[in-house]
Structure 1
Amino acid sequence: MIRLAIVDDQALVREGLALILGAEPDIEVVAEFADGAGLLRDPVRADLILLDLYLPGADGVATMRQLRAGQPEAKVLMLTTVGSAADIQRALTAGADGFVLKDATGAELAAAVRGAHAGVRPLSASAAELLWPRPGPAPVAADLGALTPREREVLDLLGQGMGNREIAAELALAERTVKTHVSNVLAKLDVASRTQAALLARDLPPRQGP
C-alpha cells in the first residue's frame, strides 16, 4: 500500500485528488495540507508527497528542499495546473521524483504515483510534451509495422497513461511480460522513454481490426 500525502492550496483540488487516488486499491491518502508550512509543521509518515508547485509562502521546490533536510528519504511527485519547461526542469533538477500537470487523467495520475514510488521518475504526457515538443509528424508506418499486434496494444494503452500494472490487468498478462513488451516497443520505435512512446501513441490513427 502506498501511503500518500497531498499538498495543494485549493480545497476542491485536494478533495478531488484524494477521491480519485484514494479509490485505487493500492493507494491510501493519509494526510492533506493547504500549504507547505502545514506539511513541515506536522510531518506525516507518508511514502510519497503529491506537492503543488505553486503554494502560498514557500513554493513547492522550497518546501521539498526543507522537507528533505529532515526526511532525506521522502519521495515527492510535483504537481501544477499550468507549467512550463523551465518549471519542470527546475523541479526535476531540485530532486523531484516526478512531475505531473493537473490535466492528467485519473489513470495517468495513479500511474505517476506508482512510478514515483517505485523510483521511475514519471512525467505526465503533457509535462513531457512541454520538455520535448514534437515538430515532426507521428511515426511512419514502417516503424509501426515492426510492432507485433500485442506490442501495438501495449502502445495504445501507454497512450492512455496506463502503467505496467494497469496494462497487465487490461490484457490479462503478467506484469513482467508487460515490461518486456514495453522495452520492445521503445526499442522498435527508437524512443528513450515510455512517456515519449505515449506521446507518439496519442497521435496514431485508430487500429483497423484486431
Structure 2
Amino acid sequence: MNAGAPTILVADDHPLFREALKGAVEKLLPQARLVESENADSLFASAEAHPEADLLLLDLNMPGAHGFSALVHLRAAQPQLPVIVVSAREEAGVVRRALEHGAAGFIPKSSDPATIRAAIAAVLDGGHWSPPQAEHGEGLAPEEAHIAARIRELTPQQFRVLGMLGSGLLNKQIAHALGVSEATVKAHMTAILRKLGANNRTQAVLLAGRLALDPDAAIAAD
C-alpha cells in the first residue's frame, strides 16, 4: 500500500451499495480517499487519472462492464492496481473465474461489514481473499482464457468500441458517442477484428460474449 492516505476506487452502479462499501472502507481506513464510479467509462477515466490508487472495488455488472470484460481489460491496462470483485453472483464458478482473470479478491454482496473489511485489509496487505466456495469452482475454460488474452491486447478506445458493438450501436452512433470520425471507428474495428481473430463484427461480439457471467446463455440469446 502506498505511503500516506490510500486511494480506493469504488465502482458500482447501485448508490446504496456504493455507500455500504464506502462505509466499510472508512471504518477500516478513516483517512482513505474514495473515488466513485457508476459505469465503465467513468471507471476507466478514474483508473487512468489515479495510477497511484491502492485498490479497486469492482462490481461485475455495471453499465458498459458486463461480465469479466472490464476486469480483464483493467488488469492489462493497470497491472499495478489490485482488484477486488464485489458481486451479487456468488456461485463457486463465478468466484473462481474472477480470481483466474486476475482479481486479488472476491466479496459476495451478501457479506457482512466485518467480512468486507477483512477482505479489503488482506488485499491491501498484498494478499488475497476469497469466500470458501472458491475452492469448489471450476476454473477458466481454455476458450475463455484464450479470448481474455486477446481482449487484453485492445487499447482503451478499442475496448470501448467493442463494448458499444455489443450494445448494438452502428459505426455512426459509436463515432458520435466517442466524438471521433466514422473513419476512426472503422480503423478501430479493423484492429479489433485482427486482435480478436474475428471475421466480422458479429463474430467479435460473440467472442467477447465468452467473458459474460453466463456465456452459454448469452450466445443462445443471440
CA–CA distance in structure 1, aligned partners of residues 33 and 59 of structure 2: 16
Q: Is the Cα–Cα contact under 8 Å of residues 26 and 32 in structure 2 kept in the other structure?
A: yes
**What SS is found at the alignment partner of 2:28?**
coil
Q: Is the Cα–Cα contact under 8 Å of residues 8 and 33 in structure 1 kept in the other structure?
A: yes
Q: Is the Cα–Cα contact under 8 Å of residues 36 and 60 in structure 1 kept in the other structure?
A: no
Correspondence 1:16-35 to 2 at 5 A: 16-25=20-29, 28-35=32-39
For residue 10 of structure 2, the aligned residue among 6, 9, 24 is 6
Aligned residues: 130
CA-based RMSD: 2.1
Q: Match for 1:99: what amino acid?
A: F
CA–CA distance in structure 1, aligned partners of residues 136 and 73 of structure 2: 30
Change (3 A) 1:54 1:131: farther
Q: Match for 2:109: what amino acid?
A: K
Correspondence 1:113-124 to 2 at 5 A: 113-123=120-130
Change (3 A) 1:111 1:122: same
> How many Å apart are 1:130 and its aligned residue?
5.8
For residue 98 of structure 2, the aligned residue among 81, 91, 96 is 91
Q: Which residue number corresponds to residue 63 of structure 2?
A: 56
Q: Is the Cα–Cα contact under 8 Å of residues 22 and 34 in structure 2 kept in the other structure?
A: no
> How many Å apart are 1:60 and its aligned residue?
5.5
Change (3 A) 1:46 1:71: same
Change (3 A) 1:27 1:63: farther
CA–CA distance in structure 1, aligned partners of residues 53 and 65 of structure 2: 21
**What SS is found at the alignment partner of 2:114?**
helix
Q: Structure 2, unaligned stretches of length 5 or more?
A: 138-222
CA–CA distance in structure 1, aligned partners of residues 46 and 29 of structure 2: 26
Identity %: 29
Q: Which residue number corresponds to residue 84 of structure 2?
A: 77
Q: Is the Cα–Cα contact under 8 Å of residues 18 and 29 in structure 1 kept in the other structure?
A: no
Q: Match for 2:21: what amino acid?
A: L
CA–CA distance in structure 1, aligned partners of residues 37 and 45 of structure 2: 10
CA–CA distance in structure 1, aligned partners of residues 31 and 68 of structure 2: 24
Range moving further from structure 2, 79-88 or 58-67: 58-67
> How many Å apart are 1:42 and its aligned residue?
3.1
Q: Which residue number corresponds to residue 177 of structure 1?
A: none
Q: Is the Cα–Cα contact under 8 Å of residues 6 and 14 in structure 1 kept in the other structure?
A: yes
Change (3 A) 1:8 1:60: farther
Change (3 A) 1:4 1:60: farther
For residue 41 of structure 1, the aligned residue among 45, 48, 70 is 45
**What SS is found at the alignment partner of 2:32?**
strand
> How many Å apart are 1:49 and its aligned residue?
0.2
> How many Å apart are 1:25 and its aligned residue?
3.5
Q: Match for 1:15: what amino acid?
A: E
Q: Structure 1, unaligned stretches of length 5 or more?
A: 134-210
CA–CA distance in structure 1, aligned partners of residues 11 and 74 of structure 2: 12
TM-score (normalizing by structure 1): 0.56
> How many Å apart are 1:106 and its aligned residue?
1.2
Q: Is the Cα–Cα contact under 8 Å of residues 6 and 33 in structure 1 kept in the other structure?
A: yes
Q: Which residue number corresponds to residue 102 of structure 1?
A: 109
Q: Which residue number corresponds to residue 146 of structure 1?
A: none
CA–CA distance in structure 1, aligned partners of residues 98 and 14 of structure 2: 20
Note the alpha carbon deviations across 1:54-76, whole angstroms, 9 max, x for none: 22222362112222332211100
* Mapped pair 1:129 → 2:133: yes
Q: Match for 1:33: what amino acid?
A: S
